[in-house]
Amino acid sequence: MTSHPFEPAQIEAALGGRYSIGPEIAVGGQGVVFRATRNRRPDHTATNDVVALKLHFYPGQARRVQREITAMESLLHPSLARLIEHGYCDVALRHTRYIAYEFIEGLSLKQRLKIGGRLLESEVLPIGRDISAAIAALWSRRIVHGDIKPSNIMLRDTGEAVLIDLGILRCFEEDSAPRPLRPVDHFAPEQIRPWGTVGYFSPEQARGERLTCASDIFSLGVVMLECLQGRHPTNYDQRALAEGIQASGRGLDVSTGLLSVLDQMLSAIPRSRGRVTKLSGYFQMLQQRLEDEFARGAGTSRKARS
């Protein structure tokens, strides 16, 4: 596991004893995340919040981190992890930005795939429903997540999916009215590649172009196809995604409705991927259709036995 300079005891002291630091959850390029319990709020009133506590490595990330915080302070959605607290503390001689999100009880989608292999259509549709709803909620604030992948999707014990880790989100700035919202550049010229994860970039993201929610839709399509196949559809080869891909023709035992929407989501042309505001409802409709077909089949089976 990647090393980092943050020791639990030092973090607890830096936060004035208000947090009890538990096990390390993840380490990445931006920082380290611990499971922790917040015992007291900043005003020292008692609480008992189980959180994912993220400490950022580099002061140079301040602008990006502030975008994440500003976005989540104004956005509350059941498919997005709730912001609990944020601030600064001094740990290991570092002036460090920290963010506490609600801790999602359950497995990451990455863990679920590793443990159980491919998912059934009835398991994939709720993921599509919930994560597309989260994408739509972010886009309502003109925000692109930019790193949708199995490790950034948590599956609650109750069955819902939650999108986490907004550390690389891209915000879109509003010009003076009445001109429309316009996207900012996705990445600075000095960067050698866009932020995110190879194998899940949309074609336009891999090219370093300006993004809309259509980029997140593409990445979600890759994730859903990976779930249905039990393996990544291109073995993480980003070049194989450059012209888009199709779910059709892969021998998947799923409905034609799901294949059709996945083919649309995985188009190389952003405007051909459909409206993000309609995706969640479409997945819910397909899920209801599956449940109705199962109920009819069960009823027929009972009649045959009687």
Cis peptide before 203 (omega within 30 of 0): no
Strand ranges of the sheet holding 170-173, from the earlier edge strand across to the other edge: 143-144, 170-173, 182-183
Answer whether 169's CB lies under 8 Å from 191's CB. Answer: no
Token pair, residue 32, equals 């380290």
* Per-residue confidence (pLDDT) for residue 175, from 0 to 100: 30
| Segments in the chain below pLDDT 70 | 1-3, 29, 58-62, 167-194, 298-306
Per-residue confidence (pLDDT) for residue 176, from 0 to 100: 28
pLDDT at 297: 76
Residue ranges of the alpha helices (H) in 158-239? 203-206, 213-229
Structure tokens, 9: 């005891």
| pLDDT score for 306 | 46
- pLDDT at residue 280, rounded to an integer: 97
272 Cα distance to chain centroid = 22
SS3 145: coil
Question: pTM, whole model, 2 decimals?
Answer: 0.84
Helices within the chain (DSSP H only): 8-14, 62-73, 109-116, 121-139, 203-206, 213-229, 256-265, 276-305
Predicted local distance difference test score (pLDDT) of residue 299: 55
Query: What are the chain's domains?
Result: 8-102 (3.30.200.20), 106-291 (1.10.510.10)
User: Phi/psi at 85 (nearest 5 deg)?
Assistant: -165, 155
pLDDT at 92: 78
3-state secondary structure of 84: strand
Q: Do 252 and 259 meet the contact criterion of CB atoms below 8 Å apart?
A: yes
Whether 127 and 221 have beta carbons less than 8 Å apart is answered as no
Tell me, what's the pLDDT at 189?
A: 34
Q: Say what the pLDDT of residue 73 is.
A: 83
**Amino acid 181: pLDDT:** 32
Taking residue 102's Cβ as centre, other Cβ atoms within 10 Å add up to: 16
Q: Which residue has the tokens 């886009």?
A: 139
Q: What does the pLDDT read at residue 293? A: 87
